[in-house]
Amino acid sequence: MPRTTLGLLPILQAQQRIAPSVRHTPLVRSAYLSALTGADVWLKLECHQVTGSFKVRGALNKVRQLTAREKSQGVVTGSAGNHGLGVAYAVQASGGASVDIFVPDNAPRSKIDKLRLMGVTPHQAGTTYEDAHQAAVAFARETGATYVEAYDDNDVIACPGTLGLEILSDLPTVDLLLVPVGGGGLVAGVATAAKGMNPGCRVLGVQPEASPAAWLSLRDGRPYDPYDHEPTIADGLAGGFGAVPLFVAGTLIDEVLLTSESTLRQAIFTLLDQEQLVVEPAGAISIAPLLNDALDVAGQSVVCILTGRNIATDLFRDILAEFTERQ
Quickly count: other Cβ atoms within 10 Å of residue 313's Cβ.
Answer: 11
Alpha helices in the chain (DSSP H): 8-18, 31-37, 55-63, 68-72, 82-92, 109-117, 129-143, 154-158, 160-170, 185-197, 213-220, 243-249, 261-275, 281-284, 313-326
Strands 40-45 and 27-29: antiparallel
Q: 202 φ, ψ to 5°?
A: -90, 145
Q: Would the pTM of this model clear 0.85, i.e. be above it?
A: yes
**CATH code, 55-147:** 3.40.50.1100
DSSP 144: -
- The rounded distance, in Å, linking the Cα atoms of 155 and 65 is 9
- How would you write the pLDDT of the chain (327 residues) with one tens digit per residue? 344 568 899 999 999 999 999 999 999 999 999 999 999 999 999 999 999 999 999 999 999 999 999 999 999 999 988 999 999 999 999 998 999 999 999 888 888 999 999 989 899 999 999 999 999 999 999 999 999 999 988 898 998 899 999 999 999 999 999 999 999 999 999 999 999 999 999 999 999 999 999 999 999 999 999 999 999 999 999 999 999 999 998 999 999 999 999 999 999 999 999 999 999 999 999 999 999 888 999 999 999 999 999 999 999 999 999 999 876
Task: Note whether 8-53+154-326 and 55-147 share their fold.
Answer: yes
Which of left, alpha, beta for 173 (phi over 0: left; psi -120 to 50: alpha)? Answer: alpha
Q: Kindly report, residue by residue over 177-197, the tens digit of the pLDDT.
A: 999 999 999 999 999 999 999
Q: Where are the domains of the chain?
A: 8-53+154-326, 55-147
- The rounded distance, in Å, linking the Cα atoms of 309 and 209 is 21
Q: 176 φ, ψ to 5°?
A: -145, 130
With both helix axes pointing from N to C terminus, report the angle between 185-197 and 8-18 in degrees, rounded to the nearest 10.
Answer: 110
CA distances from 181 to 120, 206, 285 (A): 27, 6, 9
**Protein fold of 8-53+154-326:** Rossmann fold (3.40.50)
Q: Kindly report, residue by residue over 50-86, the tens digit of the pLDDT.
A: 999 999 999 999 999 999 999 999 999 999 889 999 9
